[in-house]
Amino acid sequence: MGFVIFLLFLFAAILLFNAFSQKRYFFSINKKLVTIITISVLVLILIIASIRIVPPGYVGVKVLLGNVSKTVLPNGLHLVVPIVNVVKMNVRTQAYTMSKMSSEGQKRGDDAIRTLSKDGLQINLDVTIWYRLIPSEAARVYQTIGPYYITKIVRPAIRTAIRDVTVKYAVVDIYSEKRAEVTSEIKNELDKAFEKRGVVCERVLLRNVELPQKIRTSIQEKLSAEQDAQKMEFVLQKEKKEAERKKIEATGISNYQKIITKSLSNKYLQWYYIRNIQELVKNKSTATVIMPFDKGLTPLLNIK
């Protein structure tokens, strides 16, 4: 592109020079000054045509007449030969999504991965992969794969890795217990696939696992049964602790009664009885005191 701009400016300068040279008053102008101006314009055109700007998050791959340079240009302003073409390659973290929702993935329509589990059941997976191009490998990737390495390498590697891993696990494990383990193994497979391709897999996000309706119902019933069992275990433990508490309480009451029984002698009971009679006598609201077991006294006494 820079070479084309250079040729256009050069052609315009030649036309302008010819136009001036055809005028009669041209010979009255200092030929040396015209030469300096012409050279200055050509140098300025050459500099402008040599400027290349690599934006942030990109590197530039230099291509000269079909030959790819191993040295890449970092982001910023660079001066290169005008005939050198600079191809910009994205080295930022990118996300590749394959989802059932048409608005989420790179491809329109249902792009979820359909795969089989260890028990032969088909499941649909929504997955997002975070990846990036290694800056130092950008020139090699462009030379060996091209600028469309995402469709040639990234997408096929994702589908292959997921299918190779899910076939090792039962559908229940993928759905619940071993989901993190499945995700980790998928990342390991992608690391192997990207190792010699100049691409790094940063993270695997297993966003959704869609199971057949029959399997979903069975899993929900199993989870519900496990929750009921845990609830019953809690109730049993609570009842057991309550029984232990009542047993301890009954033992305390029994021990208390035994202690009281041993301390209740006849003399103590007589003294306690007389004391209560005295309290009744002192009480002005008391009109009658009954002494049923004293044979020496009248059963009914009037107290003033």
Q: Reply yes or no on whether the pLDDT at 112 is more than 50.
A: yes
The candidate with the shortest Cα–Cα distance to 162, out of 220, 212, 112, is 112
Q: How many residues does the chain have?
A: 304
Judgement on whether residues 203 and 225 belong to the same structural domain of the protein: no
pLDDT mean over 104-127: 78
Strands 94-98, 122-133: pairing is antiparallel
d(CA 235, CA 237): 5
96 exposure class (CB count in 10 Å sphere: 0-12, 13-18, 19+):
middle
The residues near 82 (Cβ < 8 Å, ≥ 6 apart) are 2, 3, 5, 6, 46, 49, 50
Judgement on whether residues 131 and 53 belong to the same structural domain of the protein: no
Choice among 39-43, 78-82, 187-191, 292-296 with the minimum mean pLDDT: 292-296
Dihedrals phi, psi of 118, to nearest 5 degrees: -65, -35
Here the tokens at position 82 are 């005008």
Look up the pTM and report it.
Answer: 0.58
Judgement on whether residues 254 and 275 belong to the same structural domain of the protein: no
Judgement on whether residues 74 and 140 belong to the same structural domain of the protein: no
- Domain membership of residue 185 as a residue range: 94-211
The candidate with the shortest Cα–Cα distance to 128, out of 161, 153, 102, 105, is 105
The candidate with the shortest Cα–Cα distance to 128, out of 147, 101, 152, 149, is 101
What's 21's DSSP letter? H
- Among 56, 90, 124, the domain boundary falls at 90
- Among 90, 116, 135, the domain boundary falls at 90
The structural domain count of the chain equals: 4
- Among 39, 74, 90, the domain boundary falls at 90
Judgement on whether residues 226 and 160 belong to the same structural domain of the protein: no
pLDDT mean over 9-35: 56
Q: Reply yes or no on whether the pLDDT at 2 is more than 60.
A: no
